[in-house]
A and B are shown apart, each in its own frame.
Chain A
């Protein structure tokens, strides 16, 4: 490590700052504007640079890494097209509140605004999809800006921050000074929730006959799973989670009700409608959760804890807001709970009845394969202990329904933006961060093709990622909506005749590949894949086409109005 007070060039300062921020991986791709940085990187030994094959892949990898470890993911790309290729990944991290710092090269500052070769106004382009962004105009500002970028990305509600670095700034020299403390006047997140409000919440919870915890990704980000577990079990409060909240509460617990909302469980959605106190923690009442807002939890006194004040009363009006860190909220709540409380056994029995009325389930036959079976089997074989990434679509919802997540930081999925092509790079990023747990990817045939090039990255770095391709030769979720709501007009969703031979694709990238088309083959392939740790392993599961994700709340309907199965058996394509 270099000392403050030394003269260095911009590129050396860049790496020195990353060192001080304890960065161990950079996901990047070189280019003209960054030549000086890559020249310096050549001799950097303590920070590992991962060469991706597309800048979008770099951003998803950084996010996968961030979500698996809790540390910010770092991206380094060149100017212009390199920078614009990060837009989807940045937007994804913004929607799902993942900490990320993206460094983009920029043309020399004298050329900015001149439509120079490989120039794009990336600060302007990413303004609405970053927590904040910076253009460094002077090498003297670089260390402070990088310090601020990491601070902003990780403090309060996490999010992506972009730092644009012009070529001449990276080349010029100045005396390096590391700012230990950073002060940003306009950024003072409330960490400690209002104690009187929390005490009030504790009293209301103690008197609740039918309380319900509604948990979002904020609990995972705040590392508050332990506090949540204590609250739920000591108070007999059932827990339902959003897609991003899964894993915050153990899947095997009888109090775990699984996911709520559009593809949530029947019993979770019934409970939302019937609960008398709803405790929302680190969740934002997303439209995929609430369905029709006017009919959401109408009988409940609503308590809402979130670190971001804009989430309060944004979608649903709440009765008792507590702005602050979820860990602090839950801990203080636990300390404030009175000894005496209502008996919740009738409530838990009621939930059990709903669970029995409409359980999650699927049929098995020897000859054909269902996605639910594959996910269920992986869940069993990994004992809910894998880090699971997904793409977007049917398999994503089935993963949420059938994988029994036991720990936080176990599901890494594009929730807010719904980015196809997210899963493979996210799995690669997660595999760099987590070595002691299996990393499993469930993806569809549509999404896999969107970032298929990153297979090379997985192969090159010998990452033991389990790539489970669920192939129904269709854009399954779109097909589902086409069947249910668009007169079975399967417009451009059938990939049967245009999908490649996936096994040959995987093998061409140097990946071990297997295929399974029935439950027996699937079981064996999963077994073999989980045992293989020499590098990535690819399994194509050829599943039935016509399968649909149920239960389902149609868009705009109340979450009590669930479709439990196909309304009319229809002719399948």
Chain B
């Protein structure tokens, strides 16, 4: 099954490479990986989405922990957490369909970030499921290009 793992790592060159290389060297599935600085400049947070049975996931968690640059590993899958992904998508813009497109953007609480005579670029932020649904529903209008950020996730606050 799909797992979302949040990893705190040292913010050093080569860290992303070490993590990604561990996945490829051990034949683990790596669906998405995203990384960015945290409130502490020396630490980055990595969000990894992967798949596997319990035995594989437990190996992934242990192998991540074993890397020297890894400070903390947290499997969010069965814990209350927030997961978001950013979608940038350029669609063909046909005047006759303009209203429908804008209605759909509203449904997904999306934003228009660029608009030209023949194309429109929108952003949608949401859970990976919502992003998938958005792509499906926008597809009939003609998708020209897509960029997805991969998931970023945090556990929910306490209290």
> Does the CB pair B69–A313 fall under 8 Å?
no
> Is A308 an interface position by the 8 A CB rule?
yes
Give the interface segment out of A182-190, A354-362, A504-512.
Answer: A182-190
B59 to chain A, nearest CB (A): 6
Residue B63 is within 8 A (CB to CB) of chain A in the complex = yes
Segment among B14-22, B89-97, B148-156 that sits at the interface with chain A = B14-22
Q: A114 vs B37: C-alpha distance in the bound complex, in angstroms? A: 28
In the bound assembly, the distance between CA atoms of A128 and B66 in angstroms comes to 13
A–B Cβ pairs within 8 angstroms, 21 of them: A123-B14, A124-B17, A127-B14, A131-B68, A132-B69, A152-B68, A184-B68, A185-B10, A186-B10, A186-B68, A186-B70, A187-B68, A309-B62, A309-B65, A309-B66, A310-B63, A312-B62, A313-B55, A313-B58, A313-B59, A317-B55
Task: List CB contacts (< 8 Å) of B36-80 with chain A.
Answer: 55, 58-59, 62-63, 65-71
Query: CB distance A128 to B14 under 8 Å?
Result: no
Answer whether residue A314 sits at the interface, using C-beta atoms and an 8 A cutoff.
yes
Encoded as 1 (CB less than 8 Å from any B CB) or 0, chain A from 103 to 141 comes to 000000000000000000001100110011000000000
Main secondary structure of the interface of A (DSSP, over half): loop
* A187 vs B68: C-alpha distance when bound (angstroms): 6
Closest B residue to A185 by beta carbon equals: B71
3 closest pairs, A vs B, by CB? A132-B68, A310-B62, A186-B70
> Which residues of chain A come closer than 8 Å to B70, judged between CB atoms?
186
Task: Point out the residues of chain B lying under 8 angstroms from A313, CB to CB.
Answer: 55, 58-59
B55 touching A186, Cβ below 8 Å: no
Does B25 lie at the interface of the complex (its beta carbon under 8 Å from any beta carbon of A)? Answer: yes
Distance of A309 Cα from B64 Cα, bound (Å)? 11
- Chain B nearest CB from A141 CB (Å) reads 12
Is there an interface contact between A186 and B71, defined as CB atoms closer than 8 Å? yes
Task: Knowing A186-B68, A186-B71 are in contact, say whether A127-B55 is a contact too (CB < 8 A).
Answer: no
Q: Which residue of B lies closest to A148 (CB)?
A: B68
Determine how close the nearest CB of chain A comes to the CB of B27; give it in whole angstroms: 13
A290-315 interface with B by 8 A CB criterion: 308-310, 312-314
CA distance A187 to B65 in the complex (A): 9
Count of chain B residues near A, Cβ 8 A: 20
Residue of A nearest to B13 (CB): A135
Once A123-B14, A310-B62, A317-B55 are accepted as A-B contacts, the answer to whether A128 and B69 lie under 8 Å apart by CB is: no
Contacting B17 at CB < 8 Å: which of A127, A132, A152, A312? A127
Whole-angstrom CA separation of A186 from B69 in the bound complex: 6
- In chain A, what residue has the closest Cβ to B10? A186
Q: By DSSP majority rule, is chain B's interface helix, strand, loop, or mixed?
A: helix
Q: Provide the bound-state CA to CA distance between A293 and B75, in Å.
A: 28
Q: Which residues from chain B contact A310 at a C-beta distance below 8 Å?
A: 59, 62-63, 66
Give the nearest-CB partner of B18 in chain A: A127
B63 touching A127, Cβ below 8 Å: no
- Is there an interface contact between B58 and A308, defined as CB atoms closer than 8 Å? no
Residue of B whose beta carbon sits closest to that of A323: B62
- A305-342, CB < 8 A from B: 308-310, 312-314, 317
A127 to chain B, nearest CB (A): 6
Which B residues from 115 to 139 make CB contacts under 8 A with A? none
Question: Contacts of B21 on A, CB cut-off 8 Å?
Answer: 127-128
A123 partner residues in chain B, CB cutoff 8 A: 14
**Chain A positions within 8 Å of B65 at CB level:** 309
The residue among A186, A310, A312, A314 with the most chain B CB atoms within 10 A of its own CB is A186
Beyond A128-B25, A185-B71, A186-B70, list 19 extra A-B contacts (CB 8 Å). A123-B14, A124-B17, A127-B21, A128-B21, A128-B22, A131-B68, A184-B68, A185-B10, A186-B9, A186-B67, A186-B71, A309-B65, A309-B66, A310-B59, A310-B63, A312-B62, A313-B55, A313-B58, A314-B59
- When distances are taken between beta carbons in the complex, the residues of chain B under 8 Å from A184 are 68
* B-contacting residues, A477-509, CB 8 Å: none
CA distance A374 to B102 in the complex (A): 86
The smallest beta-carbon distance between B129 and chain A, in angstroms, is: 31
* Least distance between A243 CB and chain B CB atoms (Å): 23
Per the bound structure, the CA–CA distance linking A164 and B117 in Å amounts to 54
- Give the distance to chain B from A286, nearest Cβ to Cβ, in Å: 16
Inter-chain contacts of A309 with B (CB < 8 A): 62, 65-66
The distance in angstroms between the C-alpha atoms of A126 and B63, with both chains bound, is: 17
Residues in B neighbouring A185, C-beta threshold 8 A:
10, 71
Which of A123, A128, A185, A308: most chain B CB closer than 10 A?
A185
A185 and B14 alpha carbons, distance in the complex (Å): 17
Interface residues of A in 363-403 (CB under 8 A from B): none
Chain B proximity of A562: nearest CB distance (Å): 28
Residues of A within 8 A of B58 (CB): 313
Task: Kindly provide the distance from the CB of B97 to the nearest chain A CB, expressed in whole angstroms.
Answer: 49
The interface residues of chain A lying within 8 Å CB-to-CB of B14 are 123-124, 127
Q: Which residues in A have their C-beta under 8 angstroms from that of B59?
A: 310, 313-314
B residues in contact with A312, CB < 8 Å: 62
Smallest CB–CB gap between A163 and chain B, Å? 13
B55 contact set on A, CB distance < 8 A: 313, 317
Shortest beta-carbon distance, B60 to chain A, in Å? Answer: 10
| A278-B69 Cα distance, complex, nearest whole Å | 35
CA of A123 to CA of B13, assembled, Å: 11
Q: Considering the chains assembled together, what is the distance between the CA atoms of A170 and B147 in angstroms? A: 44
Distance between Cα atoms of A314 and B63 in the complex (Å): 10
Chain A residue at minimal CB-CB distance from B43? A185
Chain B nearest CB from A319 CB (Å) reads 15
Q: Which residue of B lies closest to A187 (CB)?
A: B68
Provide the bound-state CA to CA distance between A375 and B63, in Å.
40
In the assembly, what is the distance between CA of A309 and CA of B73, in Å?
Answer: 14
Digitize B1-33: 1 where CB-to-A-CB distance is under 8 Å, 0 elsewhere.
000000001100010011001100100000000
Q: With A and B bound together, what is the CA distance between A185 and B71 in angstroms? A: 6
Among B21, B58, B62, B71, find the residue whose CB has the most chain A CB atoms closer than 10 A: B62
Bound form: Cα–Cα A404–B107 in Å: 77
Question: Within the assembled complex, what's the spacing in Å between the Cα atoms of A442 and B98?
Answer: 80
Q: Which residues of B contact A314 (CB under 8 A)?
A: 59
Q: How far is the CA of A185 from the CA of B10 in the complex (A)?
A: 9
Q: How far is the CA of A152 from the CA of B67 in the complex (A)?
A: 11
Which residues in B have their C-beta under 8 angstroms from that of A124? 14, 17
Give Cα distance in the complex from A123 to B99, angstroms.
55
**Which residue of B is nearest A152, CB measured?**
B68
Tell me the smallest distance from the CB of B158 to a CB of chain A, in Å: 23
Q: What residues of chain A lie closer than 8 Å to B62, measured between beta carbons?
A: 309-310, 312
Q: In the bound complex, how far is the Cα of B68 from the Cα of A146, in angstroms?
A: 15
Chain B residue numbers with a CB within 8 Å of A308 are 66
Q: Chain A: which residue is nearest B69 at the CB level? A: A186
